[in-house]
Each structure stands twice: as structure tokens, then as C-alpha cells.
Amino acid sequence: MLSAPNLSQPKAFLRMLFAAAVRAADPATCLPPHLPSPPAGRTIVIGAGKASAAMAKALEDNWEGPLEGLVVTRYGHAVPCRSIEIVEAAHPVPDASGEKAARRILDLLRGLTEDDLVIALISGGGSALLSAPADGLTLADKQAINRALLASGAPIGAMNCVRKHLSVVKGGRLAAAAWPAPVLTLAISDIPGDDPAGIASGPTVGDPTSLADARNVLTRFRIELPAAAEAWLARPEAETPKPGALHLSRSTFRLIAAPHRSLEEAAKIARDCGVTPLILGDDLEGEARQLGAEHGRLARTKLARGELARPFVLLSGGETTVTLRGDGRGGRNAEYLLALAIALDSADGIYALSCDTDGIDGSEDNAGALCAPDTLARAKELGLDPHAALARNDAYGFFEALGDLVISGPTLTNVNDFRAILAL
């Protein structure tokens, strides 16, 4: 069990749980057991996502026989490989590098046979990184649409529904392009529920959503499309391949890491340290500030009612959203934590951490942040107003001033958000 002096450093304890969650999704350990035998023909490796370069390295280190290919990852997430080319591109708004990489990947899939094998390394972030606009659309069109989706507050599933229907690679189209070669997808999930069709917008998986669903999302969240996108969505070929389609019949999907496994590893570590864990769920969605407030009230209620004996830790994962209202610097984990701190109202003995397991909270340089019972008091001493910061979407600035940002750098994996509320 963890000794008292270690529990006397609660922020360090929370960082330890975060590190355990990230380690459980490390491609170097979770990918090799899922590798198949080499095929009679060629092995083509493709992929996209924040973890794709690390996955490519793990594949190379454990593969017997020749291979070739290309994967695209986020800037700053590259890992040197011998035979697989690594390309970096922008996230969350796509850029020309991602578009070029997507079209080169399509070229690699042309002319394959049943004796060849395509291994697709897919992880969170791949939807933006693997960007090849549909016929008639420009990269600028896709960028404008992505920005509108990100600012709308739409959940990730709704955003991906639209993205799939405006792409030539998403929603199963990538696997269809490799036909008749078999495709094995090795995926690290970053989405609530681990739906294969949702991870990186399911480039190798049949799409259960429809054109009508995409149009409904656009209407619901009041997103205006460029004229070219409107024209494309009116065409029947804009519909994506569906589950059971012939050209997807040789495509196999394997999930190698997921949010629930990372939460379970953190829970194990906590339990071994004498702290009772309670997992609230690995698929929590909604507005970051609303969920933070709810979790703050929940922690205080459990203490007031004596439902859990101290020390305990509430663990959760998933992907929240932020509806932009102000011009501050944020990130969904920092915003969740700021709302949580306000709701906790300096409750005695409660500490919390909220971080993105990829090491990047939105588009900032931090993974997330930490709060403590003295967070609001220290903020007051510095002249910081937590309510005003939340109204401006400036949680980053708030926690930066307190020195409570968590800056890990890219972790080279991604199983979405990790949240821990510790009561001592």
C-alpha cells in the first residue's frame, strides 16, 4: 500500500494515475499481440491519428518480413521508422500536408491483390489528419466546415457524420479502395463507446449514418456549408459504404486499446495504494463546464452522505465539448476542471486532475490541469475571477497563472480524456 507521505502529495498521486492510464494505451505494449502472420504478397501499412507513428514503430519492431507504407500523424507526434514513411499534418483543422498524405495513401492501395495485406493503424485525431475532400470541394471548404463544427458544440459522433459524407477516404471508403486485398485495422479508441465506425471517422469500417443524418446535424447546429459542399451532399455518390458492403467484406477490425482499459489500470493502481476507486464511466459526453459542475456536486454529495470512505477517487473518461462564448484560451479538460473547482467551492481534502491522454488539451500545449482545495483562494490572491475566466473560455489562462497546468508533451497515444477526483 502507498505510505502516508506519498498520499500527502495528492497532486503527485493524481499525476501517477494519469501516467498509468497513458501507459496502458502505449502502442509498444498493446499492439504486438494483435499482429497477423505475413501474407504471401506485399504488406502495405497505412494509418492516421495521434498514435499512428508510435503504432508504426511498434509494428516494425515486431514484424518479420518486408513491409512498406505511409501514416500521417499530428505535428510533433512523429516517431522515426525504417520502412514506413511518417508524415506530419495539422489537427484539429486539416491542412495541405494531411490532404496530400491522404491522396498518397489512396495511391498505395491501387492495384492490390488478394495475396497482399493492408494493415491500417487508426487512432484518435485521424479524422482531421486524413483529409481528402470529396469531388468539387477544396481544402479551404473542409477547413471552414471543420472550424464551424468545432465551435458548434456538436458531439464527436455528429461531427464525424458530416465529415464522412464530405470525404473520399472516411466512412469505409479507404478499405473499399484496397479491394480485393484484405485489410486489418488495428485501432486505439478515443471515442465514447469505442464504436469502430467512429474512431477517426471509420475509414475502414462501414458507415451506419446516412446523408439525411448529415443534413440533420448541419440543420440542428446551424452550420452553413460552402456552395460546393451543398452541391456534393445532393449527389447520390456522396452516400458512404454501409456495413455489409461487398468491398468491405475482407476488412477486419481489432481494438487494441480503449478508454475503459486505461481507467481500469488507474483504478488498479489506486486500489493498490489504499485508495478506493469508483469509475463513473468511460463514455461521458456533454458540455465540459456542465460535466465539471455535476462532478463537483457529486463529490461533495458522496462526502456529505458518507457513501464512500476517504480516501477515494472518482475516475471517468470520454470526450466533452466546449461551445465557444469568449476569446480566451481553453481546452475541454481545463474548462471541465475550472467548472469543477467552482462547484467544489474549496471543499476540504478534494483534489482533481483532468487531462487528455494524447498530451494536448485541444490546441494548447498542455495536457490539462490540476485543482486543489486552495485553488480558489490562491486565485483570489492573484486577482483572478474564476467565473469570469469560465465565461471567456479562458481556463488555460486561469490555471497557467496558478502554475497548475499539466504539461506532458505528446504521449504518442490517445484514449481521450482522463479525469480523477481524489478525496483525502
Q: Residue 375 phi/psi, 5° resolution?
A: -60, -50
* Domain count of the fold of the chain: 2
Given its phi and psi angles, is residue 123 left (phi above 0), alpha (psi -120 to 50 degrees) or beta? beta
Separation of alpha carbons 50 and 412, rounded Å = 6
At 46 the three-state DSSP class reads strand
Residue 301 grid coordinates: 454529495
Q: Do 133 and 201 belong to one domain?
A: yes
Q: Is the peptide bond before 180 cis (omega within 30 degrees of 0)?
A: yes
List Cα–Cα distances, 404 to 97, 106, 372, in angstroms. 34, 44, 9
Q: Do 96 and 223 belong to one domain?
A: yes
**Running DSSP on this structure, what letter comes out for residue 321?**
B
Q: Do 123 and 48 belong to one domain?
A: yes
DSSP 50-86: TTHHHHHHHHHHT--S--EEEEEEETT-----SSEEE
pTM of the model: 0.89
Given its phi and psi angles, is residue 308 left (phi above 0), alpha (psi -120 to 50 degrees) or beta? beta
Q: Is the peptide bond before 311 cis (omega within 30 degrees of 0)?
A: yes
Query: In this structure, is residue 4 part of a structural domain?
Result: no
Q: Residue 412 phi/psi, 5° resolution?
A: 70, 25
Q: Do 192 and 277 belong to one domain?
A: no
Q: Is the peptide bond before 208 cis (omega within 30 degrees of 0)?
A: no
Q: Do 288 and 139 belong to one domain?
A: no
Separation of alpha carbons 209 and 157, rounded Å = 10
Give the CATH number of the domain where residue 399 resides. 3.40.1480.10
pLDDT at 325: 87
The identity of residue 72, as a single letter, is V
User: Would you give the distance in Å from CA 95 to the centre of its chain?
Assistant: 19
Q: Do 253 and 314 belong to one domain?
A: no
Do 207 and 242 touch, CB atoms closer than 8 A? yes
**Where is the domain boundary, 212, 229, 258?**
258
**Where is the domain boundary, 194, 229, 258?**
258
Q: Do 266 and 220 belong to one domain?
A: no
DSSP 203-227: TTS-----HHHHHHHHHHTTPPPPH
**Secondary structure element (H or E) that encloses residue 355, with its range:** strand 350-356
pLDDT at 402: 98
pLDDT at 155: 86
Q: Do 187 and 279 belong to one domain?
A: no
Query: In this structure, is residue 3 part of a structural domain?
Result: no
Query: In this structure, is residue 55 part of a structural domain?
Result: yes
Separation of alpha carbons 187 and 124, rounded Å = 9
Q: Which residue has the cell 464525424?
A: 160
Helical spans, DSSP H, in 165-287: 173-178, 211-220, 227-233, 259-272
Q: Do 338 and 218 belong to one domain?
A: no
Residue 265 grid coordinates: 489500470
The domain in which residue 343 lies consists of 10-22+260-423
List Cα–Cα distances, 289 to 295, 335, 343, in angstroms. 10, 6, 10
Q: Do 200 and 313 belong to one domain?
A: no
What is the chain's pLDDT, residue by residue, as a tens digit (424 residues)?
A: 444 337 889 999 999 999 999 999 999 999 999 999 999 999 999 999 999 999 999 999 999 999 999 999 999 999 999 999 999 999 988 999 999 999 999 999 999 999 999 999 999 999 999 999 999 999 999 999 989 998 888 888 899 999 999 999 999 999 999 999 999 999 999 988 899 999 999 999 999 999 999 999 999 999 999 999 999 999 999 999 999 999 999 999 999 999 999 999 999 999 999 999 999 999 999 999 999 999 999 999 999 898 999 999 999 999 898 988 888 898 999 999 999 999 999 999 999 999 999 999 987 899 999 999 999 999 999 999 999 999 999 999 999 999 999 999 999 999 999 999 999 9
pLDDT at 5: 37
Separation of alpha carbons 288 and 300, rounded Å = 19
Q: Do 64 and 16 belong to one domain?
A: no
Separation of alpha carbons 47 and 163, rounded Å = 17
SS3 content of the chain, % helix, strand, coil (to 5): 40, 20, 40
User: Would you give the distance in Å from CA 306 to the centre of its chain?
Assistant: 35
pLDDT at 262: 97
**Where is the domain boundary, 198, 233, 258?**
258
List Cα–Cα distances, 371 to 21, 89, 301, 351, 358, in angstroms. 19, 33, 18, 6, 20
